[in-house]
C-alpha cells in the first residue's frame, strides 16, 4: 500500500465538492468516517481516499484504491466535522437505476432539511423501498449532512429527480401504480390491507406546507396517520417511517 501526499489538484477538487454545482459537474461526492468509508468499498465506486498522516482507525493495507495523506491542519480544511475522525473518500454518484418491477416508491416535495432527508433515505433502505423521487426545490441528496445521516443507505437507494410532479404521477399510473398521499386532509380509515397488495407511489409534501394543492387534487388516496394526542403535526422523517411501516411490501 502506497500512501502519497495529496496533490494540489486533488485538494482543489475536495474544496469544489463542498458545493452542489461541482458535485453535479464532476459526478462525485465526499463521504467521511471509518464506517461509511469501509462500507463504500463494497457499495460504491471510490475514486480515492484521504487520511490524516497519523490515522490508525481502519486497515487499508489490502485496499486497491489510491490513498493520500494530509496533516491535521490541512485535513480540517476539507472535513465537514468539528472533530474529524481522520478519513474521507471521494465517491462517484451512483446511477439511479430502478428495479425492473418496482413495488414501492416514495416522492418528496421541496424537502430542505438535510438531516430529515438523510434519515428518510436510511428509513427507505430499512423498509426495502425501490426508489426515492425528489420533486421541486430539494436539498442535494449528496450534501455532506444528508450523506452522514443516511448512514451508508445513500449507496443502495436509487434517487430520481422529478421536474414535473403531475407528469411523474401519470407516468407511474400508466405502470399500474396507485397514488397515496400522506396529508392532514386525508382520512385515517383507508383500507390499508387492500393497498398493500398494490404498487404504491407514496407522496409527501414539504416540512412546512404539505403536498401542493395541484398535486393533492390528483391523488386518489389521501391518508392521515391517526392522531391520538394533541400535537399539531409530526416531523416529516417520523411520518415517513410510520407510513413505510404501514405500507411496506407484502
Q: pTM higher than 0.85, yes or no? A: yes
How would CATH label the architecture of 104-246?
A: 3-Layer(aba) Sandwich (3.40)
CATH number of 3-92: 3.30.1330.30
Quick: pLDDT tens for 65-95: 999 999 999 999 999 998 899 999 999 999 8
Whether the Cβ atoms of residue 186 and residue 239 lie closer than 8 Å to each other: no
Whether the Cβ atoms of residue 24 and residue 141 lie closer than 8 Å to each other: no
The residue ranges of every structural domain in the chain are 3-92, 104-246
Distance CA 110, CA 201 (A): 17
pLDDT of residue 4: 85
Quick: pLDDT tens for 167-221: 999 999 999 999 999 998 889 888 888 888 899 999 999 888 899 999 999 998 9
Quick: pLDDT tens for 38-66: 999 999 999 999 999 888 878 887 889 99
Q: How many residues does the chain have?
A: 250
Please enumerate in sequence order all residues whose Cβ is within 8 A of that of 106, keeping only pairs 6 or more positions apart, or say none: 120, 124, 129, 131, 132, 133, 201, 202, 203, 204, 240, 244
- Dihedral sign from CA coordinates of 7, 10, 12, 15: negative
- Using the predicted structure, report yes or no on whether residue 113 has a pLDDT greater than 80: yes
Amino acid at each position: 500500500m502506497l500512501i502519497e501526499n495529496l496533490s494540489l489538484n486533488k485538494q482543489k477538487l475536495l474544496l469544489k465538492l463542498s458545493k452542489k454545482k461541482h458535485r453535479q459537474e464532476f459526478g462525485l461526492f465526499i463521504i467521511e468516517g471509518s464506517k461509511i468509508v469501509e462500507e463504500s468499498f463494497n457499495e460504491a465506486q471510490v475514486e480515492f481516499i484521504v487520511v490524516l498522516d497519523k490515522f490508525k482507525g481502519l486497515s487499508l493495507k489490502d485496499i486497491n484504491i489510491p490513498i493520500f495523506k494530509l496533516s491535521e491542519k490541512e485535513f480540517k480544511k476539507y472535513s465537514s466535522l468539528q472533530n474529524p475522525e481522520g478519513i474521507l473518500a471521494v465517491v462517484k454518484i451512483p446511477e439511479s437505476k430502478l428495479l425492473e418491477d418496482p413495488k414501492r416508491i416514495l416522492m418528496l416535495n421541496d424537502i430542505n432539511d438535510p438531516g430529515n432527508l438523510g434519515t428518510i433515505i436510511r428509513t427507505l433502505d430499512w423498509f426495502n423501498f425501490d426508489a426515492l423521487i425528489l420533486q421541486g426545490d430539494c436539498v442535494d441528496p449528496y450534501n455532506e449532512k444528508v450523506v452522514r445521516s443516511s448512514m451508508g443507505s445513500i449507496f443502495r437507494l436509487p434517487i430520481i429527480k422529478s421536474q414535473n410532479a403531475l407528469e411523474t404521477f401519470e407516468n407511474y399510473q400508466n405502470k399500474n401504480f396507485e397514488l397515496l398521499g400522506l396529508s392532514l386532509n386525508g382520512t385515517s380509515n383507508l383500507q390499508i390491507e387492500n393497498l398493500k397488495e398494490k404498487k404504491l407511489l407514496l407522496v409527501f409534501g414539504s416540512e412546512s406546507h404539505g403536498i401542493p394543492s395541484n398535486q393533492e387534487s390528483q391523488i386518489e388516496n389521501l391518508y392521515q396517520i391517526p392522531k391520538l394526542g394533541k400535537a399539531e403535526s409530526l416531523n416529516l422523517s417520523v411520518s415517513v417511517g410510520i407510513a413505510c411501516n404501514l405500507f411496506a411490501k407484502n
